[in-house]
């Protein structure tokens, strides 16, 4: 899909179909030329509601407000509505929130994210037919829009959406086709294309680094684990950001085997690691003036005679002992060692981890929202704020000392599960906090993406399957650090 920005008015552009966003039900706006027909068709301009007037070659879509969040999902709905048509090109006007081109960025992201299909395993491919989108600088509120700023917004949108779709592709790939070694190969290929550095630790190096908990989780799989370290190192960086991702290429639950219904979709347990890879790709392509490191713990959690067991006690990289009471709480074990390794390798100003860590997070906040945890109010607030402005949903889940006590162990330093069913997202986050060193205590936020990472019923800009949760949120956050951070 390519984009062209033009000073021509929409009417002057030669395209197959025009997309018109009806904002706040304002059907009297000059862009709405088919008021009577729309009324006849029963179009009420609700958010993401579409109406294709095939004989006019016009598609109308509703947006409740002129904000990037609403314009993004409206654009996604519009392009999805064209999925089965023969149209190849679109023309559309510019919609901005009082001249701020972030709304334009939202629209482009919406088109690209909404057009995404994953067809690797389909014999007949049904790719979205739209190849070309012309964006007219004719603005909804007749504001003068700087062409340079507008084209920068489109460029950034393309990078962010491509990175999100890259993450979606990795997550959607089946566990038999995407195991730790494959994840490492994808990371290496991406690094070569974008100029990132990429180092891959294999079992021998992992043993040398004393990452015994990660190795224990991986032990029963025929696919050996990898830890991937990607880095973007510009000259004179404004600050240093470390990202860590849970990359469980499959989570069967291990000996604490998941029930059949709960095992389906566990190919998506690599969503955190895949998001880290997508974010790194965007950071490199945007060439942000921030040093960013991405670490992925890529492991498969399986069963077998060699499997790690409930009742085992494992020693993490930082020397803490962990009593295993459930092998399905494996993500926190993989993250424990990967977080320790990441902090040993890089002293960061910001440390974020991404993980499909707990079903409890989905129960608590629903399928659409990520849970944000950590020791620092400031960090949690920052992540929640950036998520919102990037069009992702996130909410803070606060730690407390009572829940912390529930992961105490009688025989080891800490237990890998809590002694209560309740507050499972938070107790998992508090388990991870045991592996954050003093230097990073207030620099860390844990992002549980278990809900939004995998979409079983399409919503917003997300079709069925992987959503790429975390990518837009973190690209936005790092971009803003680039604008606001003082040089260190």
Question: In the complex, which residues of this chain contact ligand BES (CB under 6 A)?
Answer: 251, 269, 326, 328-331, 356-360, 362, 417, 424, 450
Rule CB under 5 A: choose which of 67, 209, 269, 337 binds Zn ion: 269
Instruction: Report yes or no: 183 and 247 within 8 Å, Cβ to Cβ.
Output: yes
Pick the catalytic residue: 238, 332, 380, 476? Answer: 332
Among residues 80 and 267, whose Cβ is nearest to Zn ion? 267
Among residues 100 and 363, whose Cβ is nearest to ligand BES? 363
Among residues 30 and 421, whose Cβ is nearest to ligand BES? 421
Regarding 328 and contact with Zn ion (CB under 5 A), the answer is: yes
Regarding 300 and contact with Zn ion (CB under 5 A), the answer is: no
CA dihedral 175, 176, 180, 181 (to 10 degrees): -160
DSSP secondary structure string for all residues of 174-215:
-TTT--HHHHHHHHHHHHHHHT-EEEEE-HHHHHHTT-HHHH
End-to-end, the C-alpha distance of the chain in Å comes to 39
CB of residue 259 vs ligand BES: minimum separation in angstroms?
A: 10
Closest by CA position to 200, among listed 163, 247, 239, 159:
247
Count of CB atoms situated within 10 Å of the CB of 207: 12
Of residues 376-415, those binding Zn ion (CB under 5 A): none
CB of residue 333 vs Zn ion: minimum separation in angstroms?
A: 10
Binding mask 191-230 for Zn ion (x = CB under 5 A): ----------------------------------------
φ, ψ dihedrals at 260, nearest 5° = -50, -45
> For this structure, is 258 an active site residue?
yes
Q: Which does 417 bind (CB under 5 to 8 A by kind): Zn ion, ligand BES, none?
A: ligand BES
Residue for token digits 């007749």?
142
Q: Which does 77 bind (CB under 5 to 8 A by kind): ligand BES, Zn ion, none?
A: none
Q: Which does 326 bind (CB under 5 to 8 A by kind): ligand BES, Zn ion, none?
A: ligand BES
Rounded CA separation 442/164 (Å): 28
Q: Which does 424 bind (CB under 5 to 8 A by kind): ligand BES, Zn ion, none?
A: ligand BES
Residue with nearest beta carbon to ligand BES: 359
**Strand boundaries in 117-172, DSSP class E:** 132-139
Among residues 258 and 320, whose Cβ is nearest to ligand BES? 258
CB of residue 248 vs Zn ion: minimum separation in angstroms?
A: 5
Q: Which does 285 bind (CB under 5 to 8 A by kind): Zn ion, ligand BES, none?
A: none
Pick the catalytic residue: 210, 258, 320, 404? Answer: 258
Among residues 431 and 444, whose Cβ is nearest to ligand BES? 431
Rule CB under 5 A: choose which of 18, 67, 109, 251 binds Zn ion: 251
Q: Which does 359 bind (CB under 5 to 8 A by kind): ligand BES, Zn ion, none?
A: ligand BES
Rounded CA separation 64/373 (Å): 31
The three-point CA angle 117-120-122 to 5° equals 85
Instruction: Report yes or no: 225 and 476 within 8 Å, Cβ to Cβ.
Output: no
DSSP state of 12: G
The two tokens of residue 387 are 């998520």
Q: Which does 93 bind (CB under 5 to 8 A by kind): Zn ion, ligand BES, none?
A: none
Among residues 182 and 334, whose Cβ is nearest to ligand BES? 334
The two tokens of residue 438 are 């003093």
Among residues 251 and 353, whose Cβ is nearest to Zn ion? 251
Rounded CA separation 144/150 (Å): 11
Q: Give the CA radius of gyration of the chain.
A: 23
CB of residue 157 vs Zn ion: minimum separation in angstroms?
A: 32
Closest by CA position to 300, among listed 346, 235, 248:
248
The two tokens of residue 257 are 């085997």
Rounded CA separation 296/250 (Å): 14
Q: Which stretch binds Zn ion (CB under 5 A): 168-176, 182-190, 330-338, 404-412?
A: 330-338
Instruction: Report yes or no: 232 and 292 within 8 Å, Cβ to Cβ.
Output: yes
Instruction: Report yes or no: 380 and 396 within 8 Å, Cβ to Cβ.
Output: yes
The two tokens of residue 66 are 């002129």
Regarding 285 and contact with Zn ion (CB under 5 A), the answer is: no
CB of residue 485 vs Zn ion: minimum separation in angstroms?
A: 33
CB of residue 428 vs ligand BES: minimum separation in angstroms?
A: 7
CB of residue 332 vs ligand BES: minimum separation in angstroms?
A: 8
DSSP state of 354: E
Q: Which residues are catalytic?
A: 258, 332
Q: Which residues bind Zn ion (CB under 5 A)?
A: 248, 251, 269, 328, 330-331
């Amino acid at each position: 899909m390519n984009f062209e920005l033009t000073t021509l008015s929409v009417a002057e552009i030669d395209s197959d179909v025009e997309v018109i966003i009806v904002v706040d039900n304002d059907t009297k706006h000059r862009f709405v030329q088919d008021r009577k027909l729309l009324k006849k068709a029963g179009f009420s301009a609700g958010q993401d509601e579409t109406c294709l007037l095939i004989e006019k070659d016009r598609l109308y879509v509703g947006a409740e407000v002129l904000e990037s969040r609403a314009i993004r999902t409206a654009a996604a709905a519009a392009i999805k509505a064209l999925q089965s048509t023969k149209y190849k090109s679109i023309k559309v006007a510019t919609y901005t929130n009082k001249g701020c081109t972030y709304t334009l960025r939202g629209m482009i992201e919406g088109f690209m994210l909404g057009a995404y299909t994953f067809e690797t395993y389909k014999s007949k491919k049904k790719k979205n037919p739209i190849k070309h989108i012309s964006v007219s600088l004719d603005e909804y509120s007749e504001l003068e829009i700087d062409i340079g700023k507008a084209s920068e917004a489109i460029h950034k949108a393309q990078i962010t959406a491509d990175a999100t779709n890259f993450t979606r592709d990795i997550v959607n790939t089946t566990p038999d086709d995407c195991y730790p070694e494959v994840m490492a190969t994808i990371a290496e290929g991406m690094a070569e294309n974008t100029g990132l550095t990429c180092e891959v630790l294999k079992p021998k190096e992992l043993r040398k680094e004393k990452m015994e908990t990660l190795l224990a989780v991986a032990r029963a799989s025929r696919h050996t684990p990898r830890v991937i370290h990607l880095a973007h190192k510009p000259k004179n960086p404004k600050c240093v950001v470390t990202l860590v991702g849970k990359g469980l290429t499959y989570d069967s639950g291990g000996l604490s085997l998941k029930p059949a219904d709960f095992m389906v979709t566990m190919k998506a347990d690599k969503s955190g690691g895949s998001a880290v890879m997508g974010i790194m790709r965007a950071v490199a392509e945007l060439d942000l003036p921030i040093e960013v490191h991405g670490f992925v713990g890529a492991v498969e959690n399986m069963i077998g005679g060699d499997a790690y067991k409930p009742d085992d006690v494992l020693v993490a990289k930082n020397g803490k002992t962990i009593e295993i009471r459930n092998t399905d709480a494996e993500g926190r074990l993989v993250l424990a060692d990967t977080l320790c390794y990441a902090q040993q390798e890089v002293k960061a100003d910001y440390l974020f981890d991404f993980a499909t860590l707990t079903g409890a997070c989905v129960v608590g906040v629903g399928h659409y929202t990520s849970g944000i945890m950590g020791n620092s109010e400031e960090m949690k607030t920052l992540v929640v704020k950036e998520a919102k402005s990037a069009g992702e949903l996130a909410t803070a889940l606060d730690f407390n000392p009572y829940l912390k006590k529930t992961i105490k162990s009688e025989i080891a330093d800490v237990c890998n599960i809590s002694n209560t069913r309740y507050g499972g997202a938070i107790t998992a986050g508090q388990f991870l906090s045991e592996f954050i060193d003093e230097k990073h205590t207030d620099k860390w936020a844990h992002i549980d993406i278990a809900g939004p990472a995998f979409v079983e019923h399409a919503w917003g800009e997300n079709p069925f399957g992987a959503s790429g949760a975390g990518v837009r949120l973190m690209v936005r956050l790092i971009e803003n650090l680039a604008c606001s951070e003082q040089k260190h």
